[in-house]
Amino acid sequence: MTMNSLKEELNILKGKNRYRSFKTVEKISGPIVRINGKKLINFASNNYLGLAHRFSVRWAALRATWQFGTGAGASRLVSGHTVFHEALEDALAKFKGVEAVLLYPTGYMANLGAISTLIGPDDLIILDRFNHASIIEAAQLSRAKIWVYPHRDVKRLEEILKKAESQNFKNKWVITETLFSMDGDIAPLKEILNLCQKYNAHLMIDEAHATGVLGKTGKGALEHFSINPREVDVVMGTLSKALGSLGGFIGGKRETIDYLRNKSKSFIYTTALPAGVCASALKALEMIQGKNSPLQFLRKNTEYFFEGLKKRGLESSGEFTPIIPIIIGDDRATLAVEDFLKEQGTFAPAIRPPTVPEGKGRIRLSLMASHTQKHLDQVLEIIGKIKKDEHTSASAA
């Protein structure tokens, strides 16, 4: 690609309202951010439990950073890992109910590493159409055959699994997010697991958004559905969302994890997470499981928000989760709604294709445990105004 064609492509993006740029956050104070000198209530963060800003989580990061320094210096296999890496992997394995866990520097790299290492060119990968970009890219990297089923459509999934029986795939894998990042709905995991068992397929789940959010005690979708984690082959999760930190992990059988430690390129050939990052995630895990778990506040806020929608005649067709998409449709209108939200004192991102399907541009609201009812009332009022506006055909989805 020449430099001229880069410019042309960027201009095309601008013309289509698909150009992406940064907003500089000048200050964060819990759920309040300051952008361009204006204080806004933050509905743009996946820090669902508010843990990234809790004193004890920050303090844990500071202490470990002081002890071990800001950077890990090299890959864990080269320069060793700290007690915090080890303790975090053990705590995550216990939390998720799996035999063992391996940390990666990001969730994106966890998906890339696990999928491209465990799955090969003789295999079949079956994906939900709305799976995250990291899963899709990882599937391509594995060089396996990729088939896709419509979002949460178990009937189509079964047809695909049936069709695959007559072909000579070495292994079949079904990979799905559990709590979908842009739609806030939940994969029908019991049905998917039953199909995997019936058709002898492996199951991998991406719990990036479910970890710390779904299930009675925040363990994720398997707890939500009362599924034994040992029935699922690979469980992926992130530290970067409800755990308020950075990083990703893969959980599974001890042998699977040992194999990834030895073979997975995005684990071996990259520098380890700094100790402070691991220490903060460890503290966050402890707080989720503690007496005053922030999960109860996230649940209360979710309930309050959904009741508020109902009260205002804005029935939600989405599920009872803290990710709330407001479908707008057209890209320009979606950006206009984002600006309107900012004018009214709230920050929630416009999500446009290719992150979501064509014509399904949306505002993605995410609720946090640290929002107050006043914050929620404010955004509910604004959604009500958007709904009434004839120019945007917005509806709470």
The set of catalytic residues is: 181, 209, 241
Q: Are strands 202-206 and 172-177 parallel, antiparallel or unpaired?
A: parallel
Q: Which is nearer to ligand PMP, 111 or 264 (CB)?
A: 111
**Binding-residue pattern over the window 131 to 150 for ligand PMP, x denoting contact by CB under 6 A:** -x-x----------------
* Only segment of 47-55, 105-113, 117-125, 149-157 that touches ligand PMP (CB under 6 A): 105-113
CB 243 within 8 A of CB 88: no
Measured over the CA atoms of residue 162, residue 166, residue 172 and residue 177, the dihedral's sign is: negative
Closest CA relative to residue 45, chosen from 245, 290, 308, 293: 245
Closest CA relative to residue 275, chosen from 87, 32, 52, 37: 87
For residue 33, what is the enclosing H or E element? strand 32-35
Please tell me whether residue 238 binds ligand PMP under the rule CB under 6 A: yes
3-state secondary structure 36-90: CCEEEEECCCCCCCCHHHCHHHHHHHHHHHHHHCCCCCCCHHHHCCCHHHHHHHH
To ligand PMP, the closest distance from the beta carbon of 49 in angstroms equals: 15
Of 220, 229, 248, 322, which lies in the binding site for ligand PMP, with binding defined by CB under 6 A? 248
Restricting to residues 23-52, name those near ligand PMP by CB under 6 A: none
* Only segment of 107-115, 316-324, 354-362, 370-378 that touches ligand PMP (CB under 6 A): 107-115
The DSSP-derived string for 97-112 is: T-SEEEEESSHHHHHH
Closest CA relative to residue 224, chosen from 309, 299, 134, 293: 299
Restricting to residues 199-228, name those near ligand PMP by CB under 6 A: 206, 208-209
Q: Which is nearer to ligand PMP, 183 or 233 (CB)?
A: 183
- Name the 3-class secondary structure at 10: helix
- Name the residue number minimizing CB distance to ligand PMP: 107
Please tell me whether residue 106 binds ligand PMP under the rule CB under 6 A: yes
Please tell me whether residue 240 binds ligand PMP under the rule CB under 6 A: yes
Please tell me whether residue 178 binds ligand PMP under the rule CB under 6 A: no
Q: Which is nearer to ligand PMP, 282 or 394 (CB)?
A: 282
Closest CA relative to residue 368, chosen from 98, 47, 120: 47
Q: Cis bond leading into 229, ω under 30°? A: no
* Only segment of 56-64, 106-114, 211-219, 353-361 that touches ligand PMP (CB under 6 A): 106-114
Q: Which is nearer to ligand PMP, 205 or 376 (CB)?
A: 205
Residue ranges that bind ligand PMP, judged by CB under 6 A: 106-108, 111, 132, 134, 177, 181, 206, 208-209, 238, 240, 248
